[in-house]
């Protein structure tokens, strides 16, 4: 029996670790995501095993493995590592091979990456200093509202009279949220205001090109955020099939 040729990308973020497995034809055969926790190496190995099981493969089938993300140096089975900017760019260009602005909303940071029609980066910006507009911001607001994080998207969709939050700061926004609760503002209207605040915060980072791609775990679990962003920028936004795994897929492509 011929040995499989598989390529693994591992994206170890501060919040979540993602693994993607591609075959030689660039088909996604297996994937896994888990909370990164406090032992990045163990989480990466656990995600690899889950993804290999889904792909019906063994670790010995791996022909190339590249890591990326915050904890990329903690992946024992990776032969090399690449920056998250590079991997997100490569993963997005694989799905959308033309000039784009990539908006990646992660658990702890945001990225704006601009690519030309060859997939080369022309500019990028990252927001690492403030949680506003990130998954951490959304988690904090969900906690303040005493709402399960997975319910936020559905609540935002039910809003009929969105309340706008004046502050982009997580601490001040939390105070505003509590004040709106005290005033009796409906929960869906507050949640939609939180989404609107996130979108505006990200869009202020950089001007957009004609074609915009949105990725990241926040996008994967809150597709209504994409719809709201479309309404703000007044254009359609592209989303890859697996928006949370774009960086991992890009790393796997580097592994080839």
- pLDDT tens readout for residues 144-193: 889 999 999 999 999 999 988 765 565 566 778 778 877 888 999 999 99
Task: Provide the token pair at 12.
Answer: 């170890």
Domains of the chain, by residue range, sit at 6-84+246-255, 98-239
Query: What's domain 98-239's superfamily in CATH?
Result: ATPase, nucleotide binding domain (3.30.420.40)
Task: Tell me how far apart the alpha carbons of residues 253 and 243 are, in angstroms, rounded to a whole number.
Answer: 16
**Range with the lowest mean pLDDT among 175-179, 197-201, 243-247?**
175-179
Is residue 115 classed as helix, strand or coil in its secondary structure? Answer: strand
Closest CA to 167 of 141, 189, 147: 141
Instruction: Please tell me the predicted confidence (pLDDT) of residue 131.
Output: 65
∠99-102-107 over CA atoms, to 5°? Answer: 165
Distance in angstroms (rounded) separating the CA atoms of residues 99 and 15: 29
Average pLDDT over residues 131-150: 86
Q: Do domains 6-84+246-255 and 98-239 have the same CATH topology?
A: yes
Residue 193 · residue 162 · CB < 8 Å: yes
CA–CA gap between residue 140 and residue 171 (Å, rounded): 9
Mean pLDDT across 77-100: 96
Predicted pLDDT of residue 168:
58
The 10s digit of each residue's pLDDT in 40-61 is 999 999 999 999 999 999 999 9
What pLDDT, on a 0 to 100 scale, did the predictor assign at position 148? 95
CATH architecture of 6-84+246-255: 2-Layer Sandwich (3.30)
The conformation of residue 2, written as its DSSP 8-state character, comes to P
Lowest mean pLDDT among 15-24, 107-116, 178-187: 178-187
Tokens matching residue 224 = 């209504």
State the pLDDT at residue 182. Answer: 79
Question: CA 16, 18, 24: angle at the middle one, nearest 5?
Answer: 170
Residue 124 CA to residue 207 CA, distance in Å, equals 11
Q: What is the mean pLDDT of the chain?
A: 91
Using the predicted structure, report yes or no on whether residue 1 has a pLDDT greater than 50. Answer: no
Q: Among 77-81, 142-146, 205-209, which stretch is predicted with the lowest mean pLDDT?
A: 205-209
What's the pLDDT score for residue 167? 58
Calculate ∠ Cα 207-195-88, nearest 5°: 50
Assess whether pLDDT exceeds 80 at residue 241.
yes
Lowest mean pLDDT among 122-131, 157-166, 219-228: 122-131
What is the structure's pLDDT at 118? Answer: 96
> DSSP secondary structure string, 189-253?
HHHHHHHHHHHHHHHTTS---SSEEEESHHHHH-HHHHHHHHHHHTS-EE--SSGGGHHHHHHHH
pLDDT of residue 252: 98
Range among 99-103, 136-140, 142-146, 181-185 rated most confident: 99-103
- Output the CA torsion sign for 26, 30, 43, 148: positive
Decide: helix, strand or coil at residue 157: helix
Q: Find out whether 18 and 31 touch, Cβ atoms under 8 Å.
A: yes
């Amino acid at each position: 029996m011929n040995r499989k040729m598989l390529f693994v990308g591992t994206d170890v973020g501060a919040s979540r670790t993602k693994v993607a497995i591609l075959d030689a034809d660039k088909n996604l055969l297996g994937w896994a995501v888990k909370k990164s926790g406090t032992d990045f190496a163990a989480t990466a190995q656990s995600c690899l095993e889950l993804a290999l099981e889904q792909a019906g493969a063994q670790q010995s089938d791996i022909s190339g493995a590249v890591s990326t993300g915050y904890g990329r140096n903690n992946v024992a089975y990776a032969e090399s590592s690449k920056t998250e900017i590079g991997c997100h760019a490569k993963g997005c260009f694989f799905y959308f091979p033309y000039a784009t602005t990539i908006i990646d909303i992660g658990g702890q940071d945001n990225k704006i990456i601009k690519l030309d029609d060859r997939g080369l980066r022309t500019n990028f910006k990252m927001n690492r200093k403030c949680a506003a507009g990130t998954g951490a911001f959304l988690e904090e607001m969900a906690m303040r509202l005493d709402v399960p994080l997975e319910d936020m998207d559905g609540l935002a969709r039910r809003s009929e009279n969105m309340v706008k939050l004046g502050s982009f700061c997580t601490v001040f926004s939390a105070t505003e949220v509590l004040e709106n609760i005290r005033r009796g503002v409906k929960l869906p209207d507050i949640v939609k205001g939180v989404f609107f605040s996130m979108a505006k915060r990200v869009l202020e980072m950089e001007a957009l090109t004609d074609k915009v791609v949105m990725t990241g775990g926040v996008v994967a679990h809150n597709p209504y955020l994409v719809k709201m962003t479309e309404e703000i920028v007044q254009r359609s936004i592209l989303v890859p099939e697996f928006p949370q795994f774009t960086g991992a897929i890009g790393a796997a492509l580097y592994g080839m």
